Amino acid sequence: MTEPFRDSFRAPADEETIGRVHEMFERLAERRPDLPEQVRGGFELAVVEVVTNVVMHSSDDRPVRVELAVRSTEDGLEAVVTDDAPPAAVDIDGAAMPDPEDLGESGRGLALVTLLVDRFEHAALPDGNRWLLTVG
- pLDDT tens per residue across span 51-105: 999 998 776 678 899 999 999 998 899 999 999 998 887 766 654 545 445 445 5
Q: What percent of the chain has pLDDT over 90?
A: 68
Q: Give the pLDDT of residue 103.
A: 46
- Sorted by sequence, the CB contacts under 8 Å of residue 14 that are 6+ apart come out as 55
* Entry pTM: 0.85
CA distance 21 to 131: 15
Chain-centre distance of CA 123, in angstroms? 14
CATH 2.120.10.30 for domain 6-135:
no
Q: What percent of the chain has pLDDT over 70?
A: 85
